[in-house]
Amino acid sequence: MSTAYMMDYEFKMKTQNERVKVEDLFDYEGCKVGRGTYGHVYKGRRKDGSDSKDYALKQIEGTGLSMSACREIALLRELKHPNVINLIRVFLSHNDRKVWLLFDFAEHDLWHIIKFHRAAKANKKPVLVPKGMVKSLLYQILDGIHYLHSNWVLHRDLKPANILVMGEGPERGRVKIADMGFARLFNAPLKPLADLDPVVVTFWYRAPELLLGARHYTKAIDIWAIGCIFAELLTSEPIFHCRQEDIKTSNPYHHDQLDRIFNVMGFPHEKDWEDIKKMPEHPTLLKDFKKNNYVNCSLVKYMDRHKIKPDSKAFHLLQKLLLMDPNKRITSEQAMQDPYFQEEPLPTQDVFAGCPIPYPKREFLTDDDQEEKSDNKRQTQQQQQTQNNQQSQQQNQQNNQNNQQSNQDNHNTAKRVRLSAPQGHPSQVNQQQIPISQQQQEFHHQQMMYNNGQQQQQNFQQRF
């Protein structure tokens, strides 16, 4: 049988003609703003000018539908929450077999925000932000994660870079949890997770039970990561910062990362975490670590050194998020009820609470980084840089802060330059709020719009 008969010619032509190409609809050339392990992210504008909003276009790494691309599409297609990034549309480019995802553009993310604060701290120039900003950020992160968790979706890769914050516009200052590429349904594990993708959460945000070989991901693992992010927001330092050398290892056990956690938290007492004995790597732990090395370590002391008082509500909540025993760790739902959020200043929907946003907008990445396309290269570079940092850190403990600063700078190796906006990107000032009616009209222009049913119904009612 010849290939011609697998698919009807007329059908093929008809769908080909109807198919809208991403490059026909959007201007994004030269506007790369992000590069992750799983894709390139561009800032785009509609070519037909039907709206002047910014969009994020994520081109998934590689060709075709990898499992993580499938999961990202499958999950995002179903999820709908103000604090979870909204997948507007999927483009399949048949010629080069590339997959593109269209999202709302988020001007900021916690990685850049924290980086900005560190730089300011190092230069002794304080940043003016609303008093409740960290609280609002945390509250919305919890809200989004609670939604995911109650839909039996685990994020598994929570870290500052994956927490986006909307810039000027109708959703100003709203948290959007992104990067669900690894998100996984966990109500019916088909395979132990460790077999599927050996390295998942960046080690800094990895819960101790994962480092001790836990076979399954849980909600509690996401909660630990949120605790880490909360601490980092409070202090501008990654709380469990650690050099990352064997990033590629499939062995979950990571001595240095555990050492770092114990250095901050103290070594877990058996009464605090009874089931630690059941962890696969518990024997290794006993062999490698001496309790006595950590007798003077505690979260109270660590946070106190960073000027967070142990009797503050923030500290109390942090302590509940960062409990070593996953069974005792607070849930997102409980955390949202915490007194911290009932105390003034109350959390706000706009995390910037109407104040000017002090953070720079996303810069376009140059094409230099095209050469280092391969992830391995990028990771190795990253590791080397982290190692360098670590060395200098050891050389000069007092300069610790600055080193960590440069370490964070190197997290994304691509060079950053501010470019003038290309045509179709009228300068970025033009960010006024778009009236709702215009937004709704907007929906009509899109073919594969993913709305909730109500919106869909509305569209139909208006259309027919």
Partner 1 sequence: MSGNFWQSSHHQQWLLDKQDLIRERQHDLSILAEDEYQKIFIFFASVIQTLGEQLKLRQQVIATATVYFKRFYARNSLKTIDPLLLAPTCIFLASKVEEFGVISNSRLITTCQNVIKNKFSYAYTQEFPYRTNHILECEFYLLENLDCCLIVYQPYRPLLQLVQDLGHEEQLLTLAWRIVNDSLRTDVCLLYPPYQIAIGCLQIACVILQKDHKSWFAELNVDIEKIQEIARYIINLFELWKTYDEKKEIQGLLGKMPKPKAAPQR
Ligand X SMILES: Nc1ncnc2c1ncn2[C@@H]1O[C@H](COP(=O)(O)OP(=O)(O)OP(=O)(O)O)[C@@H](O)[C@H]1O
Which residues are tagged catalytic?
Answer: 157
Choose between 203 and 302: whose C-beta lies nearer to Mg ion: 203
Residues 82-121 binding partner 1 (CB under 8 A) are 90, 92, 94, 97
Residue 64 touches which of partner 1, Mg ion, ligand X, none (Cβ within 5-8 Å per kind)? partner 1
Contact yes or no for 177/138 (Cβ under 8 A): no
Q: What is the dihedral of CA 125, 229, 416, 374, to 10 degrees?
A: 160
230 binds, among ligand X, partner 1, Mg ion, none (CB under 5 to 8 A by kind): none
Q: Is 162 in the site for Mg ion (CB under 5 A)?
A: yes
Q: Which is nearer to ligand X, 142 or 161 (CB)?
A: 161
**Residue 104 makes contact with Mg ion by CB under 5 A:** no
Site string for partner 1, 123-162 (x = CB under 8 A): ---------------------------xxxx---------
Distance CA 430, CA 447 (A): 26
* Comparison of 79 and 161: residue with beta carbon closer to Mg ion: 161
431 with 106: CB under 8 angstroms?
Answer: no
Instruction: Choose the binding region for partner 1 from 116-124, 184-192, 203-211, 272-280 (rule: CB under 8 A).
Output: 184-192
Buried b (16+ CB within 10 A) or exposed e, 6-41: eeeeeeeeeeeeeeeebeebbbbeebbbbbbebbbb
Q: At what angle do helices 453-463 and 436-444 cross, to 10 degrees?
A: 80
Exactly one of 310, 448, 458, 462 binds partner 1 (CB under 8 A); that residue is: 448
**Tell me, what DSSP letter sits at residue 354?**
T
Considering the complex, state which of residue 80 and residue 121 has its C-beta at the smaller distance from partner 1. Answer: 80
Q: Does 20 bind partner 1 (CB under 8 A)?
A: no
* Least distance CB 149 / partner 1 (angstroms): 9
Kindly report the number of other CB atoms within 10 A of residue 428's CB atom.
Answer: 14
Rounded CA-CA distance 93/412 in Å is 28
Residues of this chain that interact with ligand X (CB under 6 A) are 33-34, 36-39, 41, 56, 58, 85, 103, 105-106, 109, 157, 161-162, 164, 178-179, 181
Is 9 near partner 1 (CB under 8 A)? yes
Alpha-helical regions (H) of 187-328: 193-196, 208-211, 219-235, 255-265, 282-288, 299-305, 313-321
Please tell me whether 121 is known to bind a ligand: no
CB of 27 or CB of 179, closer to Mg ion: 179
Tell me which DSSP letter residue 331 carries: P
Residue 8 engages partner 1 in binding (rule: CB under 8 A): yes
The site partner of 181 among ligand X, partner 1, Mg ion, none (C-beta below 5 to 8 Å per kind) is ligand X
Min separation Cβ 38 and Mg ion, Å: 8
Per CB under 8 A, which of residues 210..269 are in contact with partner 1?
none
- Rounded distance, CA 220 to CA 329, Å? 6
Q: If binding is defined by CB under 5 A, does position 236 make contact with Mg ion?
A: no
Report DSSP state, residue 364. Answer: P
Binding span for partner 1 by CB under 8 A among 26-34, 156-164, 209-217, 449-457: 449-457
- Report the candidate in 447, 445, 448, 443 with the shortest Cα–Cα distance to residue 458: 443
Least Cβ distance, residue 125 to partner 1 (angstroms): 45
Cα dihedral sign, 328-333-337-340: positive
In the complex, minimum distance from the CB of residue 208 to partner 1, in angstroms, rounded to a whole number: 25
Closest CA to 107 of 61, 176, 36: 176
Cα distance between residue 139 and residue 85, in whole Å: 16
211 binds, among partner 1, ligand X, Mg ion, none (CB under 5 to 8 A by kind): none
- Cα–Cα distance list, 351 to 112, 340, 431 (Å): 15, 16, 18
Q: At what angle do helices 219-235 and 133-150 cross, to 10 degrees?
A: 170
Tell me the closest approach of the beta carbon of residue 109 to ligand X, in angstroms: 5
> Residue 352 class from Cβ within 10 Å (0-12 exposed, 13-18 middle, 19+ buried)?
buried
Q: Which residues are annotated as a binding site for ATP?
A: 58
Q: Which residues are annotated as a binding site?
A: 58
For partner 1, the binding residues (CB under 8 A) are: 1-11, 15, 19, 64-67, 70-71, 73-75, 77-80, 90, 92, 94, 97, 150-153, 184-185, 187-188, 190-191, 196, 448, 450, 452-453, 456
